[in-house]
């Protein structure tokens, strides 16, 4: 019997049922049924189960309460080592946003009239294959690409990256993690030999000095901040941020430096520390390489120069050096104020260098610690198969390709031998007509990508744009030729890896609306429809993929082959990598590098440094102010596709776009509070309500990224090593309406 006969919802003419009717029927009719003992049908219908949150990288655990097999409510888990019973508003409201009326419930195909109209899955898959394959035939295999995410379970990322690159023959695929973590990734690889944030959240509580650089955890990582508040060592809290953020206001020292002068500051700081002998010579000798050259390099960064470039007071810089020296355990935490810069990699390394110099690594309360952003940015860094080959491997390394092929049971020849283009290069490829088809999964570039008018123009040039999202209303989905309706967090299963390398489980506690399917199942459908289903015959469930991921990780710094299964993760409150099969350390909160050995072949960390460079777009007579962008409140998430759907969250943030201005600038420009102003850059303009506050320095303004128009203003500038966009520096003008 064909599928159509069983289910009138499905139309004839699809490729699917011809290949494997059983598989397809299973996929279409029982979304999420590929259970592993965790799906609701196996959970007691009125049970409470726990799972990690699907927003930020803190990775809090939430207890989800079920009634008749469906989640009805949740509360934070008290026994989980991450959040200890706490959650922020987004976590508390995580279930509400699943019920939004704009959920994508059927595939949508743009019709002859130019409108997106509902179609069934077989038609959608048929179009997917026909259009992409025809582009490939006409323009070559690499004329289609994908953009993925840091917000899907690792199993889905691994599936997508493998399907696209090994099955569909794509060479180019990148993710929104480029917008976010690329600078930290490159910095760690070069400095430590592997992308390895070394800390555990216990370090928030065990530090004597916490230095936050370009990070606003009070609202971007509120539960990490709660951990800071639990610190009983009367810590010195230093915030290095041009703005007086919520976090800066709670600090004991706020260094409101000139934007993008952090690298100079940290070189100057290193110079003071070395000059005064406030360094750990034993650690430097045993565990690092390049100290002599670094010492020579920082000589010209004397206090006068650093004061001139950072616009800080000499006493502030000296006090920071003294604090680090006197108080002992210092930890350095950085986020987007560092990574999103024209020199993000070297700035991150300027921080790493100070931690290395002072031996502040591998001990409690120390570390050069990049805080990640999205719930599974860490999973994407290891398994998205974009920049790196699955499991922290390298596409250009023949041994790595063989290992991966062996574990997956595929022909080594299907694995690309070169790296993908980066996100910005994919966009440029579209502009140049080299890339004609794009598959966007779980990200919203028409809102979040830099220099938005140009980004939208580029997306609109595509012959075929497929967007796979929970909501059909996103700025990117509205431009798509084909929309694939995806299940979201809570409607599917898999694992996330949080900021401190902790692998945690998510579960299916809700049925996805309409015909929406877990991304995992969409990938299975694509594999079948494309004709490469056989290659993925072992990829039957997230749990099965998790087994392969364990094997892929074996022998790598991120080895988690000792994790038995999902239930093991549940029992343990998540498990941090590494957790190898032999000799795994069972301590619930672990840090790396306790033995002073790093991941370079000689075991030594590197001092990496370079002369700082000026920003590309400095304020001018026409655009006299510098725009900083970032997170606005704890209740808004990125492009707001999810958080704007909760009435509770909507009450907790300003509905209308706003721009924060210094009172001095406002006075000069005759701008009064809470009135509309126009903010313009060379690339575009937006209207915003004026918020006048001394939290921003004279000459700078701040606009949250959550409002659609913000990226009309930003300038497409990238770090040369990480290709991460510099979202936090461009010249603007503000004029009253």
Q: How far is the CB of 499 from Mo ion (least distance, A)?
A: 11
Span of 6-14, 188-196, 454-462, 637-645 interacting with ligand MGD by CB under 6 A: 637-645
Residue 248 or 410: the one with the smaller Cβ distance to ligand MGD is: 248
Residue 348 or 404: the one with the smaller Cβ distance to ligand MGD is: 348
Residues 56-85 binding ligand MGD (CB under 6 A) are 56
Separation between Cα atoms, residue 531 and residue 128, nearest integer Å: 12
**Positive or negative torsion for Cα 130, 136, 141, 145:** negative
Residue 134 or 473: the one with the smaller Cβ distance to ligand MGD is: 473
Residue 357 or 375: the one with the smaller Cβ distance to ligand SF4 is: 375
Residue 24 or 57: the one with the smaller Cβ distance to Mo ion is: 57
Residues 6+ positions from 371 with CB-CB distance below 8 Å: 57, 215, 217, 221, 224, 333, 334, 335, 499
Q: Which residue has the tokens 């290069």?
A: 425
- Residue 222 is a binding residue for ligand SF4 (CB under 6 A): yes
Span of 83-91, 385-393, 458-466, 572-580 interacting with ligand SF4 by CB under 6 A: 83-91
Residues 571-630 binding ligand MGD (CB under 6 A) are 628-630
- Residue 496 is a binding residue for ligand MGD (CB under 6 A): no
| Eight-state DSSP code of residue 142 | G
Residue 25 or 90: the one with the smaller Cβ distance to Mo ion is: 90
Kindly give the interhelix angle for 154-162 and 542-553, rounded to the nearest 10 degrees. Answer: 80
Span of 178-186, 492-500, 530-538, 726-734 interacting with Mo ion by CB under 5 A: 178-186
Q: What are phi and psi of 601, to 5 degrees?
A: -55, -35
**Which CB contacts under 8 angstroms, 24+ apart, belong to 316-319?**
316/253, 316/255, 317/255, 317/265, 317/268, 317/269, 317/272, 318/272, 319/253
- Residue 219 is a binding residue for ligand SF4 (CB under 6 A): no
Q: How far is the CB of 179 from Mo ion (least distance, A)?
A: 6
**One character per residue 268-307, x = contact with ligand MGD (rule: CB under 6 A):** ----------------------------------------
Closest CA to 655 of 644, 639, 642, 641: 644
- Residue 217 is a binding residue for ligand SF4 (CB under 6 A): no
**Both structure tokens of 577:** 């990598």
- Residue 58 is a binding residue for ligand SF4 (CB under 6 A): yes
- Residue 88 is a binding residue for ligand SF4 (CB under 6 A): yes
Name which of ligand MGD, ligand SF4, Mo ion, none residue 486 binds, using a CB cut-off of 5 to 8 Å depending on partner kind: ligand MGD
Measure the N-to-C terminal CA separation of the chain; round to a whole number of Å: 66
**Both structure tokens of 14:** 């699809």
Residues 173-202 binding ligand MGD (CB under 6 A) are 176, 179-180
| Eight-state DSSP code of residue 103 | B
Q: How far is the CB of 129 from Mo ion (least distance, A)?
A: 32
**Both structure tokens of 695:** 């939290």
**One character per residue 366-395, x = contact with Mo ion (rule: CB under 5 A):** -------x----------------------
Residue 491 or 559: the one with the smaller Cβ distance to ligand MGD is: 491
Name which of Mo ion, ligand MGD, ligand SF4, none residue 176 binds, using a CB cut-off of 5 to 8 Å depending on partner kind: ligand MGD
DSSP lists the bridge partners of residue 630 as 704
Separation between Cα atoms, residue 36 and residue 519, nearest integer Å: 17
- Residue 574 is a binding residue for ligand SF4 (CB under 6 A): no
Number of residues in contact with ligand MGD, rule: CB under 6 A?
59
Q: What are phi and psi of 523, to 5 degrees?
A: -65, -35
Residues 6+ positions from 459 with CB-CB distance below 8 Å: 430, 438, 445, 446, 465, 476, 479
- Residue 87 is a binding residue for ligand SF4 (CB under 6 A): yes
- Residue 378 is a binding residue for ligand SF4 (CB under 6 A): no
Separation between Cα atoms, residue 2 and residue 22, nearest integer Å: 9
- Residue 711 is a binding residue for ligand MGD (CB under 6 A): yes
CA distances, 455 to each of 341, 353, 435, 470, 476 (Å): 19, 36, 14, 22, 10
Q: 3-state SS of the chain: helix, strand, coil percent to 5?
A: 35, 20, 45
Of these, 16, 43, 56, 180, which contacts ligand SF4 (CB under 6 A)? Answer: 56
Number of residues in contact with ligand SF4, rule: CB under 6 A?
13
Dmax (CA) for the chain in angstroms is 82
630 φψ region: left (φ > 0), alpha (ψ -120 to 50), beta (else): left
Q: Is 689 exposed, middle or buried (0-12, 13-18, 19+ CB in 10 A)?
A: middle
Residue 179 or 700: the one with the smaller Cβ distance to Mo ion is: 179
Residue 260 or 271: the one with the smaller Cβ distance to ligand MGD is: 260
- Residue 91 is a binding residue for ligand SF4 (CB under 6 A): yes
Q: How far is the CB of 89 from ligand SF4 (least distance, A)?
A: 7
Any idea of the CA torsion for 7, 12, 14, 18, to the nearest 10 degrees?
A: 80
Residue 51 or 628: the one with the smaller Cβ distance to ligand MGD is: 628
Of these, 147, 180, 558, 697, which contacts Mo ion (CB under 5 A)? Answer: 180
Q: Which helix (H) or strand (E) holds 688?
A: strand 685-692
- Residue 371 is a binding residue for ligand SF4 (CB under 6 A): no
- Residue 386 is a binding residue for ligand MGD (CB under 6 A): no
CB 274 within 8 A of CB 292: no
CB 443 within 8 A of CB 436: no
The contact set with ligand MGD (CB under 6 A) reads 56, 151-152, 176, 179-180, 213-216, 219-221, 240-243, 245, 259-260, 262, 335-337, 340, 373-374, 441-445, 448, 468-471, 474, 486, 488-489, 519, 628-631, 634, 636-639, 641-642, 705, 710-711, 714, 727-728
The contact set with ligand SF4 (CB under 6 A) reads 53, 55-56, 58-60, 83, 87-88, 90-91, 222-223
The contact set with Mo ion (CB under 5 A) reads 180, 373
């Amino acid at each position: 019997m064909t599928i159509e006969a069983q289910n009138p919802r499905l139309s004839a003419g699809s490729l699917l049922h011809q290949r494997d009717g059983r598989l397809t029927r299973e996929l279409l009719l029982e979304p999420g049924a590929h259970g592993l003992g965790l799906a609701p049908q196996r959970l007691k219908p009125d049970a409470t189960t726990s799972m990690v949150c699907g927003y930020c990288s803190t990775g809090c655990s939430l207890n989800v309460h079920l009634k008749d097999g469906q989640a009805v409510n949740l509360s934070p888990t008290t026994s989980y080592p991450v959040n200890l019973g706490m959650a922020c508003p987004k976590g508390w409201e995580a279930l509400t946003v699943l019920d939004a009326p704009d959920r994508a419930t059927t595939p949508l195909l743009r019709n002859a009239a130019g409108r997106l109209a509902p179609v069934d899955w077989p038609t959608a898959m048929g179009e997917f294959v026909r259009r992409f394959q025809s582009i490939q035939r006409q323009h070559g295999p690499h004329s289609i690409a994908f953009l993925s995410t840091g917000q899907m379970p690792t199993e889905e990322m691994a599936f997508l990256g493998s399907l696209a690159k090994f099955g569909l023959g794509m060479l180019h695929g990148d993710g929104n993690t480029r917008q976010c973590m690329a600078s930290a990734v490159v910095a760690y690889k070069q400095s430590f030999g592997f992308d390895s944030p070394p800390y555990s959240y216990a370090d928030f509580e065990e530090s004597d000095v916490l230095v936050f650089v370009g990070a606003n955890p009070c609202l971007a990582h509120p539960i990490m901040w709660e951990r800071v508040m639990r610190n009983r060592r009367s810590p010195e809290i230093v915030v290095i941020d041009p703005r007086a953020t919520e976090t800066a206001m709670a600090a004991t020292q706020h260094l409101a430096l000139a934007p993008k002068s952090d690298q100079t500051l940290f070189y100057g700081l290193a110079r003071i520390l070395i000059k005064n002998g406030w360094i750990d010579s034993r650690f430097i000798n045993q565990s690092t390489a390049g100290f002599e050259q670094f010492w020579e390099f920082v000589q010209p960064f004397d206090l006068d120069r650093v004061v001139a470039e950072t616009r800080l007071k000499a006493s502030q810089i000296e006090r920071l050096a003294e604090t680090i020296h006197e108080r002992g355990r210092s930890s350095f935490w950085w986020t987007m104020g560092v990574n999103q810069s024209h020199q993000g990699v070297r700035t991150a390394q300027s921080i790493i260098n100070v931690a290395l110099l002072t031996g502040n690594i591998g001990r409690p309360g120390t570390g050069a610690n990049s805080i990640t952003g999205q719930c599974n940015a860490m999973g994407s860094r290891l398994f998205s198969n974009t920049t790196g080959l699955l499991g922290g491997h390298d596409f250009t390394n023949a041994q790595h390709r063989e290992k991966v092929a062996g574990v997956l049971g595929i022909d080594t020849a299907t694995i690309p031998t070169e790296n993908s283009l980066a996100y910005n290069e994919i966009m440029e490829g579209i502009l140049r007509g080299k890339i004609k088809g794009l598959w966007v999964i779980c990200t919203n570039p028409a809102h979040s990508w830099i220099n938005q008018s140009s980004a939208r123009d580029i997306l609109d040039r595509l012959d075929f744009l497929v967007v796979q999202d929970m909501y059909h209303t996103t700025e990117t989905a509205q431009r798509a030729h084909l929309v694939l309706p995806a299940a979201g967090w809570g409607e599917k299963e898999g694992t996330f890896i949080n900021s401190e390398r902790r692998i945690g489980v998510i579960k299916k506690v809700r049925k996805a609306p309409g015909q929406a399917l877990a991304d995992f199942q969409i990938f299975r459908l694509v594999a079948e429809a494309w004709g490469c289903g056989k290659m993925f015959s072992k990829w039957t469930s997230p749990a099965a993929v998790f087994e392969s991921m364990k094997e892929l990780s074996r022998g790598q710094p991120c080895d988690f082959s000792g994790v038995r299964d999902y239930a093991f993760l549940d029992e343990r409150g998540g498990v941090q990598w590494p957790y190898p099969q032999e000799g795994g350390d069972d301590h619930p909160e672990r840090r790396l590098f306790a033995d002073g050995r790093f991941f370079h072949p000689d075991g030594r960390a590197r001092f990496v440094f370079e002369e700082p460079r000026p920003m590309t777009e400095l304020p001018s007579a026409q655009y006299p102010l510098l725009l900083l962008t970032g997170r606005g409140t704890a209740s808004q998430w990125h492009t707001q596709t999810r958080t704007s759907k909760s009435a509770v969250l909507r009450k907790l943030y300003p509905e209308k776009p706003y721009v924060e201005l210094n009172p001095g600038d406002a006075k000069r420009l005759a701008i009064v509070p809470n009135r509309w102003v126009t903010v313009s850059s060379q690339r575009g303009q937006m209207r915003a309500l004026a918020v006048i506050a001394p939290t921003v320095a004279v000459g700078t303004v701040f606009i949250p990224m959550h409002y659609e128009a913000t990226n009309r203003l930003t300038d497409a500038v990238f770090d040369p090593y990480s290709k991460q966009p510099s979202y936090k520096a461009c010249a603007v003008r503000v004029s009253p309406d």
